Each structure stands twice: as structure tokens, then as C-alpha cells.
Amino acid sequence: MYFLNINKPKNMSSFDVIRFLRKKLNIRQIGHSGTLDPLASGVLQVALGQATKLLDYLKSDKTYIADIIFGYTSETYDDEGEKTFIKTPDFKKSDLENALKSFLGKSLQIPPKYSAIKIQGKKLCDLARKNKLNDITITPREIEIYSLELLEFIKDKNITKAKVKISAKKGIYIRSFAYDLGQKLLCGAYIKDLKRIQAGDFRLLDSDELDSENYRKINPLDVLDIQKYETDDNEYKKIMNGVFICPKPDCALKEGEVLLTKNNKLVSIANLSDNLIRPKKNFKEV
């Protein structure tokens, strides 16, 4: 039971990565958190074995570096779609900086039609490819952007482009962000390239290439931001049998979720209330 920090290559889907790892490691139980488009590269949080039950407990804030082209729109909001020229951009760097500031905080965002969101049991991208979106309303979703940093701005007679660092809460579509930015600047925009440099505690600097000979195994206890409680032999046996336990008098636990450990390995996710620790999910791999 462990996590991997994989640098997903460009032009592979997130599930392609899982398929590759299943074959290479001969492990069936593998999952990931935070899907990346095939166009995008960067951090993919991968769980193996019973760690797949922990994906929802990982920190979910994300940081991206996006290359954005202005003056055009794309059917898919990225470099893969058919491009439409809108107008030659006439904004200045200061105009772009002001536009970026307007996206900070919480707002509503309409996901791109070429996405894996399901409506009426069918993926939007599949409906879009079959031209069946005419009678479907895509509901805006709340997103939250923590910070935006303009890393590079190039404007000449041939191209206007920018490199932007974006830190946001889980759920944002960077392709939609680029599209909305182009709308605000009245010239259109799309994503040329996208790289995720951080997902929770997983950083690109610490990631393993997909074709690495060996992957660094990440102990769930190192990346789950939940209070911990080391069980003794008697407590461990009770927890494994689903029996509630009372925390030791000298521990400083707060009510709420608790990671129960044994020999520095996770054995259960539990809940503390009324001075009782109640196991919710137990793990046998000790």
C-alpha cells in the first residue's frame, strides 16, 4: 500500500499511465487522482494496492504552468482542436495582468464541452463528437483560484502568447480558464501547452518518469494531512476486529478523523468522538 508521484508524459491519457503501470508492476489495483488531459504533462498522484482507498483523502490543491496563445479560439480550448482566428490582440502587458487579477478567488466556470464530465450518463466529449450537445445545458461549477503569476509575455507581429502559473482548488479546468481569459481580453485564447507542477504534497521536482527503472514508494502517512495515533498490540487487535477503543490519556487528539498506525504503517482511518476511536476503514498490510 503506497503512492507514486509520476510525471505523466504528454500525449498519453491518465488511464494510459495506469494501464502501463499495471503491466509493468504486475499489480491490478492501481488508481489515480486528478485526471490530466492527454495534451498536459506533469504530476499524477498514483495509488497502489489498498492506497486506492485513500485517494479522496489526499490534498487536492493544484498548481499549473500554462502556455496560452491569444488571437484565436479552439474547438477543444487547447492545441488539439480546430482553430478560429478572432482578431489580432491589441492589449498591453498591464491589461493582461489586470485581467488575470479579475480571476482570483471564487467564481463560476463552465467546463469545456470536450471533457469527461458526464451528463445523463454520457461523457460530454462523446456527445460533442456526435454533435448531440444542442439540447444540453452545461451547468457552471464553482472554482477557486488562489494565485496567478505572469511568468512570460511575448508580443510581436507574428504571435501573442503568455506563460502563466496558476494555483487553484481542485475542480478547475485550465482550458476553460484560458478561453475565459481570451473572452475578457476580446481576442480569444487557447492552451498551447499545460504542465501540472504540484498536486497537494506531490511536486514535479520529486516525481519519477514513467519509464524509470525504479519508482520511489511514498508512505501514505507522509502525505495524508490527518492527525495520527500509534496503537499498541492490544489496541491494534481490537481495531482490526472493528472494536472501538479509548485513546490513551496522555495523547492530544482532537475530535474528528484519525489515522491509526502500527510500526509506522497505516492500519485504519478512524473517527474520534465522545472519547471513542471508531474504525471506518481498516488496512491489513502491516
**SS3 letters for 112-137?**
CCCCCCEECCEEHHHHHHCCCCCCCC
Distance, in Å, from the CA atom of 98 to the CA atom of 103, rounded to the nearest integer, reads 9
Q: Which of 69, 29, 20, 36 is nearest to 52 (CA)?
A: 29
Residue given cell 450518463 in the structure block: 121
Q: Does residue 274 carry a catalytic annotation?
A: no
Catalytic residue among 16, 37, 211, 222: 37
Measure the CA angle with vertex 205, ends 201 and 209; round to 5°.
105
Going 30 to 36 to 37 to 41, the CA torsion angle's sign is: negative
Residues with active-site annotation: 37
